[in-house]
């Protein structure tokens, strides 16, 4: 009742960070659904000639299709689900612990969490992940990827950048 008289407590930023993760998952789902509905499997739509295309492929393996041609694809699928789920849980726990502030690290973790959840969803629901962003740089064809993959990589790059920045000395 007299709560407004108490000094304000430090606001939690965790809901905003979880909103970043949720937006990542939503954007990932929307783009994969759109590609699956509008681009025939194996087909593509040129965006920038000889550089960028929207294609429609699925990936049964890990990053860069590692383990995609395994003799036991179901084992690979569930191992990837388990690993990504465990990683997402660890990232969520870190976000909860660091949820009082928004910074490079927490935004990076929110992006990684959203990307992990997006790809785990596909592996559980469909057995594979839809990849649709196809990039060609001169004669190099970069492996196709999706929004979830992009967010994980962006998050990892932000963590790398943060680790390279000079650290402020804490007051003792």
Domain assignment present for 171: no
Residues catalogued as catalytic: 131, 149
Domain that holds residue 117: 12-42+57-131+146-162
Per-residue pLDDT band at 73 (split at 50, 70, 90): low
Tokens matching residue 128 = 């594979």
Domain assignment present for 170: no
Domain assignment present for 116: yes
Q: Tell me the CB-side half-sphere exposure of residue 79, using CA atoms within 13 A.
A: 12
Phi, psi (deg, nearest 5) at residue 140? -95, 130
Contact 119, 149 (CB under 8 A): yes
Domain assignment present for 49: no
Average pLDDT value for the chain: 88
pLDDT at residue 78 in the model: 86
Per-residue pLDDT band at 87 (split at 50, 70, 90): very high
CA 154 – CA 20 distance, rounded (Å): 13
Domain assignment present for 5: no
pLDDT at residue 31 in the model: 98
Domain assignment present for 168: no
Place of tokens 């690993």: 83
Q: Is the pLDDT of residue 122 over 70?
A: yes
Domain assignment present for 47: no
pLDDT at residue 63 in the model: 61
Domain assignment present for 141: no
Considering only residues 42 and 169, tell me which one the structure prediction assigns the higher pLDDT.
Answer: 42
CA 51 – CA 61 distance, rounded (Å): 25
pLDDT in tens, 9-46: 566 789 999 999 999 999 999 999 999 999 999 999 99
Enumerate helices (H) and strands (E) in the chain, giving the number of each.
4, 4
Domain count, the chain: 1
pLDDT at residue 30 in the model: 98
pLDDT in tens, 141-160: 988 999 999 999 999 999 99
Q: Which of 29-43, 46-60, 61-75 has the lowest mean pLDDT?
A: 61-75
């Amino acid at each position: 009742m007299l709560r407004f008289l108490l000094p304000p407590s430090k606001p939690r930023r965790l809901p905003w960070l979880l909103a970043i993760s949720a937006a990542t998952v939503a954007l990932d789902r929307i783009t994969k659904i759109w590609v699956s509905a509008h681009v025939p499997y194996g087909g593509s739509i040129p965006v920038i000639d000889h550089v960028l295309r929207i294609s429609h492929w699925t990936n049964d393996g890990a990053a860069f299709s590692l383990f995609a041609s395994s003799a036991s694809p179901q084992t690979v699928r569930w191992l990837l689900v388990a690993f990504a789920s465990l990683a997402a849980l660890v990232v969520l726990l870190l976000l909860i612990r660091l949820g009082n502030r928004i910074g490079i690290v927490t935004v990076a973790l929110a992006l990684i969490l959203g990307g992990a959840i997006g790809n785990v969803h596909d592996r559980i629901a469909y057995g594979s992940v839809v990849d649709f962003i196809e990039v060609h740089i001169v004669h190099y064809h970069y492996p196709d990827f999706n929004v979830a993959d992009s967010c994980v990589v962006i998050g990892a790059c932000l963590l790398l950048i943060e680790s390279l920045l000079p650290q402020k000395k804490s007051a003792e």
